[in-house]
Amino acid sequence: MKALVLYDSLGGNTEKVAKRISSTLADGGVESELVKVSEDTDMDLYDYDLLFLGSPVIAWGPTNTMRDFVMKKLKEYHKERIPPSAPLRPGKFAVSFCTFSGTHIGENEAIPLTKWFSSFLEHIGCQVMAEWNIVGEFHKPGEHNTNGRLGDISGRPNERDLLDVENRVKGIVVGLAAWMT
Ligand SMILES: Cc1cc2nc3c(=O)[nH]c(=O)nc-3n(C[C@H](O)[C@H](O)[C@H](O)COP(=O)(O)O)c2cc1C
């Protein structure tokens, strides 16, 4: 099994999560690549069996760089590899994740993004195993980190959040035992 952790991060929160996913995969004996998306990023997603796709929530959506990457890939695959009904491809799995501050309306600020990722992943035939919305502090100090809908989110994701991510990744790896060759 080969995994890809593809993410964007403007201030480091999502990167912390991506790195913890990657190190946990390595500890579990899963071969994986960790890639921060850029304008030049261009791999074939079908080369991987387990995809982790993540971004910070920026105005309820992904970063521009991540959006451009996903739309580029959708366009590339659409003609040849995404037939109507988007059949599941056996042995292809995925997880959508994001970090978000939820200042105004809580987790509802994150759900559209992980659903958007999942929609793309399902289009390319992956079975989406999970959607993880992880709290991340707002980088401009001020009341966004203390008076928002989620309360005090200073310092998030903290070690406890990252341990939670680690345990979830372990669960995914154990769940995919049948494909772990
Ligand atoms: C320009 C900008 C827009 C943001 N918009 C939202 C938003 O709509 N909803 C939300 O919950 N968090 C929003 N956030 C907070 C980020 O999603 C959060 O701080 C995230 O953890 C940042 O991740 P990063 O450090 O990987 O960039 C925004 C942050 C920035 C800088």
Ligand 1: does its nearest atom lie under 6 Å from the Cβ of 155? no
User: Starting from the edge strand earliest in sequence, which strands make up the sheet with 50-56, in order?
Assistant: 31-36, 2-7, 50-56, 93-100, 127-135
pLDDT at 142: 82
Answer yes or no: is pLDDT of 126 > 90: yes
**Residue 139: left (phi > 0), alpha (psi -120 to 50), or beta?**
alpha
Residue nearest to atom 7 of ligand 1 (CA): 59
| Ligand 1 pocket, residue 54 CB under 6 Å | no
pLDDT digits (tens, 9 = 90+) for 63-88: 999 999 999 999 999 988 999 999 99
- Indicate the pTM of the whole model: 0.98
Q: Which domains does the chain have, with CATH numbers?
A: 2-179 (3.40.50.360)
Which atom of ligand 1 sits closest to the CA of residue 17? 26
